[in-house]
Structure 1
Amino acid sequence: MSSLVEHVDLCPVGHAGNKPTVNEIPSRLVKVLQYRVPVNPRGEFCVRSKVVATAAAVTLATVLGLVDYLTGREWAISAFYLLPTCLAGWMAGRSAGFAVGALCAGAWFLSDLFSGPAYQHPLIPVWNAIMLFVFFFVVVWLLTAFRSSHYHLEQTVECRTAALRAEMEERKRLEQAKLQVERLAVVGSMAAQVAHEIRNPLGSISLNLDLIEQELSVFANSNGRSAAECQVLLREMSSQVLRIGQVLQEYLRFARMPKSERAVVSLKGFLEEKLNFVQPLLDQKHVYLRSTLDPNLPPVYVDAEQLWEAFLNLIRNALDAMPDGGNLTVSAQRNGAGALVSISDNGRGMTEEEARNLFVPFFTTKSDGTGLGLAYAQRVVNEHGGKIDCATARGKGSTFNIQLPLAVGA
């Protein structure tokens, strides 16, 4: 430890402008110093500075005592004893200041005792030395108290500055969130209006396509080849109409999310039931499902249908990331005062830009995507008082973590 301290430039802690930060000192060294050499909460200097200051103060006190003895009583230099006393008190702390003060009082006592004729009373030098030590004691006490209060004031200012900075950042974040909500409200209203205007013509088109297909079946005997070709085209048109209807349904669901109807739900049983429901789809996509559900998982207070829609969007996103098959892992466990559900895949992962815009409405990297699936999932989780985030790496897959509050009394 001595060699470690010897080769490190330890600077004063609590001295204005010289406090070491975690970014400046390697974390491992900080742990060693905090374990072997605790930092005084009053902001005293580090070990090396204390030792040097104490040695300098002792040397100065010794020199002053010798000079005081050589000059005799004609030259009063007792005030200079304050220099080593204050130096030790300021640099090395209160205990060192008291010790050096006692040394100075002793040096003055010896020089006064042997440098001149005896006093009328033999206890006069003792009394004078005691008074001098009391004076040094008071000076050291006040000096270290001032230094400690200065350090705490400095720390208070730094803490309040950091709190103010954090508050400003939080306000900025809230303003951005408010602006985002206002934009989403406008976009949602427009999407709902557009979807409403398009759904009625689509319904008529779909009905007419069905009628045309029925009419074509009548003429299938006269010209079977042409009728078959027309039926293929009609089926393609019907599938595209169905696709448009599904997109409109997603827009409407996002823009007009119904009020949640919450109930106490066993999260373990809920996930087991729903995962069994999607198992055929996973088999079709050549995806192996691995579920790890805590048997003692407490219930949650959620809207089961909305929550399943959110989970299903996350599962679909995982399947899209594994077009050639892969592994899907679903886990659920208690995490503090909530339940943590994780959905992981070993697909292609995402870039930093994709991860940054992951939950932004209408952002998508798919040619046939709406960009609303993950935004809807985040909205559902947030309205349930939970949190959702994603950890991803390009080429290594993604993990969505959903934190949900437990039911009251769970």
Structure 2
Amino acid sequence: MKKTGRIAGVMFTSIVGVCFFLYYYFIIKSAWEGQLLGAVACSVVAWWLGGYYDKARYYASELESRTKELERSREELQNYFDSSNIMIWEYSISTKAFNMSSGAKETIGISSDVLLDPTEWADTDLFHKDDKEAVRSFVNDFLSGKPAKLQHRILPPDRDEVLWVESIANPIFRGGVFTKVIGSLTDITEEKAAEEMLRRSDKLHVIGELASGIAHEIRNPLTTIRGFMQLIKPKLEQQHYIDIVLEEIDRINQIVSELLVLAKPYAAHFRNKNIIDLIRDTVSFMQPQLILHSVQLDIQVQPGEGSPIVYCEENQLKQVFINIIKNAIEAMPGGGDISILIQRTGSYISIQVKDQGCGIENERLSQIGLPFHTTKESGTGLGLMVSNKILQNHNGSIAIASEVGKGTTIRILLPAVENVFNE
């Protein structure tokens, strides 16, 4: 601590004392001892008061330095808050101001100049309609000074997806006064997807066991019926009726075999097949249905390098395309157009089936392929699930895109076989 005040005070009183001494000694010609004693006393007092002045200046300087340091820290913290990818937010109880980090704004799709009021969260379109009551309860909890935690869905306005997040809110008290709420968001979309996949796996296991039991129960009487029909065939004059019955029994047997795909893979007869010929055969089989529903189907083949050969079980892939075309027909009760585009995409063959139907809402689209989930009144929800299982067994994939009022596009990818001859 500098002694500027004390030194200045003593110097001032000393100069004044000397002036008084000279005045009394040379001009007035009176005793100078009293003035000298008074000057010394004033210097002591000046030293003492100067000490307080020095302390005041020191504390003022420290306060200014600490204030500047605090301001710098606040600016650095604000810059970190604004630029951080961590999803955090802050709500002031007194000013009602709400602020979010850039990471949170970017994740939920809100521009940087938009601040949300938590009291209005449940009334916005940002949150899934099924979660709004839970969000309202979450907000009420942290606004009343209670820690709160909630897993919910967010619908980012800048993109067409559903985001699962875990929101945590912690109230902050200073001096016993509730001043603000600090919260965080954690993206748990992948975890929820994993949980959903596990639930689907469990459902598929149950459905597979059920399908296996039903298939065996159906096959046993079918085998008996077929055997007796073959026995009585030579004794009947109208043997072609027996042939029709046997063909239908074989067809049922084939369907049962496909149903067993849900339960476990079986020894299918895989061979190289031209996918274009396979799709054309399937379309020919579906022609009566197309005519009946006034649907036009157009097949386009986009030329490209490589062969259109896939290694497949022909009947299984036909069943996949029958399911997809049948769904497209049923989506257009008043008729319409279906287009099938076949093209090479790298080492895969892409088959794109597009209809002009009513389309599927986003919420229902995410459920397509689940057991017993269907968009049709008389459907079972097993068609696309079986198709997906068949494509997985062929190392392929299926993707569905849909827009309400415009139609649905299904894209299938199958690995192409190179340098082979069609069998």
Name the structure where strand makes up a greater proportion of residues: 2
Structure with more helix by fraction: 1
If you compute each CA radius of gyration, which structure gives the higher value, 1 or 2?
Answer: 2
Which band: TM-score by shorter chain?
Answer: 0.3 to 0.5
TM-score by length of 1: 0.47
TM-score, normalised on structure 2? 0.46
